[in-house]
């Protein structure tokens, strides 16, 4: 609704226009009309500028939300990777204990049951968070003004992450024949394994070979996860720097 002030201004300009027409001052009226058009155009431009500024401000709020969520994704994924490395190191410790016992034909003790279990546990199936990136895609890549950072984020989730998972899955794939071979050798209890015949295990080269292969596989996973943590940290730092600016 028009305010009283706006209505007053419209009536004021209308009186001037009518006065100029009645006095037959066409040239002055023409100048007045051009001035009035100019004022209208300026008013429209100002309104558009204010609207654009409001939209820009809203986009900056959305941009910060996206960057914060992306940073949380990277921080969470770094924690997941670091936790998995700790687990792999623990399982490899069990593998070394088992291999040392079998290589030296030492007798079984109850304390070894948990190590026999950990030594044969398949490698991890990791799940890394990508919810922040999905939000970013849904809002549109243009929401982040800094194009180099936007390119880094898109490249990480669209290229680096899928390639890393492909390599990870290749190393992490379970070997079914070994699992089938392993099952009849033990009595299964809660997170522990008791060998049915230790003398048989001492001579089971297939079992011993795959125990070593599992340990080396974990070492490789630790290596690629450690490198991937560094890449996550690098992109995370770029996002934090942008949030702090």
Model pLDDT, residue 34: 62
Question: Mean of the pLDDT values across residues 3-27?
Answer: 55
Token reading at 105: 């034909």
Kindly tell me if the per-residue pLDDT of 56 is higher than 90: no
Integer angstrom CA distances of residue 13 from 10, 19, 48, 66, 145? 5, 10, 24, 49, 44
pLDDT band at 16 (very low <50, low <70, confident <90, very high): low
Q: Please, what's the largest Cα pairwise distance for the chain?
A: 123
Q: Which of 8-17, 69-78, 108-117, 174-183 has the lowest mean pLDDT?
A: 8-17
Nearest CA-CA partner of 119 in 93, 81, 85, 137:
93
Distance, C-alpha 58 to centroid of its chain: 23
Q: Answer whether 218's CB lies under 8 Å from 90's CB.
A: no
Q: What predicted TM-score, i.e. pTM, was given to this entire model?
A: 0.76
Per the prediction, the chain carries an average pLDDT of: 85
Residue 9 CB: number of other CB atoms within 10 A?
Answer: 13
**Coil, strand or helix at 141:** helix
Token reading at 2: 């028009």
Question: Mean of the pLDDT values across residues 236-240?
Answer: 96
| Highest mean pLDDT of the ranges 45-59, 60-74, 120-134 | 60-74
Beta-carbon contacts of 184 under 8 Å, excluding residues fewer than 6 positions away, are 196
Question: Mean of the pLDDT values across residues 119-139?
Answer: 87
Rounded Cα–Cα distance for residues 132 and 208 (Å): 44
DSSP 61-113: HHHHHHHHHHHHHHHHHHHHHHHHHHHHHHHHHHHHHHHHHHHTTPPP-GGGH
Kindly tell me if the per-residue pLDDT of 41 is higher than 90: no
Using only the alpha carbons of the chain, give its radius of gyration: 35
Model pLDDT, residue 126: 86
Model pLDDT, residue 165: 93
């Amino acid at each position: 609704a028009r305010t009283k002030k706006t209505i007053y201004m419209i009536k004021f300009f209308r009186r001037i226009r009518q006065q100029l027409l009645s006095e037959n001052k066409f040239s002055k009226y023409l100048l007045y009309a051009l001035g009035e058009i100019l004022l209208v155009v300026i008013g429209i431009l100002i309104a558009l500028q204010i609207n654009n500024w409001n939209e820009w401000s809203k986009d900056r709020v959305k941009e910060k939300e996206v960057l914060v969520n992306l940073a949380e994704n990277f921080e969470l994924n770094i924690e997941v990777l670091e936790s998995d490395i700790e687990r792999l190191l623990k399982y490899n410790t069990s593998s070394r204990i088992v291999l040392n016992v079998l290589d030296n034909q030492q007798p079984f003790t109850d304390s070894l049951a948990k190590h026999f279990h950990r030594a044969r546990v398949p490698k991890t199936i990791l799940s890394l968070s990508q919810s922040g990136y999905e939000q970013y895609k849904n809002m549109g890549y243009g929401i982040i003004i800094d194009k180099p950072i936007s390119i880094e984020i898109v490249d990480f989730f669209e290229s680096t992450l899928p390639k890393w998972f492909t390599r990870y899955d290749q190393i992490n794939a379970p070997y079914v024949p070994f699992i089938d071979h392993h099952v009849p050798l033990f009595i299964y209890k809660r997170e522990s394994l008791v060998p049915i015949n230790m003398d048989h295990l001492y001579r089971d080269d297939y079992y011993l070979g795959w125990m070593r292969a599992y340990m080396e596989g974990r070492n490789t996973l630790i290596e690629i996860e450690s490198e991937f943590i560094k890449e996550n940290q690098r992109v995370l730092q770029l996002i934090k720097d942008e949030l702090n600016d």
